[in-house]
Amino acid sequence: MMRKSEYALWALLVVAVIAAGSTVVSWARSPSASAGNSGIYKQLDLFGEVLERVRADYVEQPEDPKLIESAINGMLTGLDPHSAYLNPKHFRDMQVQTRGEFGGLGIEVTMENGVVKIVSPIEDTPAARAGLRSGDLITHLDKEQILGLTLQEAVEKMRGPVNSPIMLTIVRKGVDDPFKVKVVRDMIHINPVKYNAEGDDVGYVRITTFNEQTTENLGKAVDDLKKKLGPNLKGYIIDLRNNPGGLLDQAISVSDSFLDKGAIVLTRGRNLEETQRSNARQGDITDGKKIVVLINGGSASASEIVAGALQDHQRATVIGTRSFGKGSVQTIIPLGSSGALRLTTARYYTPSGRSIQAKGIDPEVVVEEELPEDIKKKQDIIGTRGEANLRGHLKGEVEVEEEQSGSSSYVPEDKEKDTQLNYALDLLRGIKSVDTDVKKKAEAAN
């Protein structure tokens, strides 16, 4: 989860500009430093010795700013998967992204086994129009091999001027040979809220990310659905599947949109005085209509805050499969002209005090999507991914053997085959009910 100026969780957008910026770092020892700090200063002496040896004897002349930036990144990535250094250019681009408008290809990516893995193509972007899919592996960029590059270096190479082409070499499960895909870079405009009427009685709202426009666009969507459906409106489906997260304040305000009172989320840092509680204010934009929330293994961070808050207050029925399990807050700490630090500073908790870190949100009703054969085979081999699977993840407040975040993130393109969506529609229309037996089955499945 991120505070006001932060971007999404576990996935970096290809559209992000990640360049090797210059950073000047200096250490000054205070005469009043306590004896307890002597150990760290000895380690800094060791770092200084290694740095000078590299500068003096490496086979090629290294760039000093790059050495320091790499050292900083190494320190932060050693803490957890979500802490990182943002050089000045990356920091500026992150701020642009949170406004929902930026340039690039339009895919969320991560690094896996030395190559770039597509987490999800963003709708209505060059990547989506080119046919790129979740799970695709990018091995080459304009014939240049990715292996050996960091994720940031690969992302930087994928960025370029609007209307300029780039050739990606793709490895896809079920396709024997790698193939090339030409993608033309464009300005990406992210609409975080998509909606439509399902029949003449249910409002469907899909929230794809939590940027600065999410709450405002949610309000417009609900108002429009009220006008379209009028007195026939039975309720709303809030689809948070494959929503990777975003801004903490937006997660709070979206939750507040459906609540009249009570806690929304609690955040706790290392010290007790750092505990904060966000509360709902009077005013439910749906006028108390029934709500169903859809989640799956791709629902992370901000989307888990919303699902957890509405679930704890019994304001919504949560349907789907276990969420990703990212229950930590990252704070952006500006470093002047040197960029910023993205640092994990707190865990967040649902109103009832549940920490979902490395565990996730469990739905009241577990509904599995029927997987295509190629995706099923892949899942059988590598399993599902969640926070608990990330190397170096922050431990939750549960025993290691209880860590179980993540589930399938597959959502059928054809709504008629979307089992989770159709279950939600039947629930709102009274065709199905969440009775005691169903809840027991859901608990047993978890």
Instruction: Name the token pair of 257.
Output: 């949109």
Alpha carbons 355 and 326: distance in angstroms, whole number: 10
Alpha carbons 346 and 266: distance in angstroms, whole number: 10
326, 328, 405, 409: the active-site residue: 326
Catalytic residue flag (residue 157): no
Alpha carbons 209 and 211: distance in angstroms, whole number: 6
Residue in 231, 227, 293 with CA at minimum distance from that of residue 257: 293
Angle between helices 214-229 and 248-257 (to 10 degrees): 20
Report the DSSP beta bridge partners of residue 290. 235
How many degrees, rounded to 5, is the angle at CA 224 between CA 212 and CA 123?
Answer: 50
How many degrees, rounded to 5, is the angle at CA 427 between CA 425 and CA 431?
Answer: 95
Catalytic residue flag (residue 312): yes
Alpha carbons 417 and 366: distance in angstroms, whole number: 16
* Cα separations in angstroms, 69 against 25, 28, 65, 114, 380: 9, 19, 6, 20, 39
Burial 330-367, CB ≥16 within 10 A → b, else e:
bbbeebeebbbbbbbbbbbbbbeebbbbbbbbbbbbbb
Alpha helices in 205-267 (DSSP H): 214-229, 248-257
The helix (H) or strand (E) run that includes residue 444 is helix 436-445
Question: How many CB atoms are located within 10 Å of the residue 139 CB?
Answer: 15
Residue in 436, 287, 268 with CA at minimum distance from that of residue 350: 268
Burial class (CB in 10 A: 0-12, 13-18, 19+), 198: buried
Catalytic residue flag (residue 326): yes
83, 255, 299, 301: the active-site residue: 301
Contact 391, 110 (CB under 8 A): no
How many degrees, rounded to 5, is the angle at CA 252 between CA 246 and CA 255?
Answer: 110
93, 249, 256, 312: the active-site residue: 312
Beta strands in 132-227 (DSSP E): 137-141, 144-145, 165-171, 179-184, 186-189, 193-198, 202-207
Q: Find tokens 């046919």 and name the residue.
A: 131
Q: Which residues belong to the active site?
A: 301, 312, 326
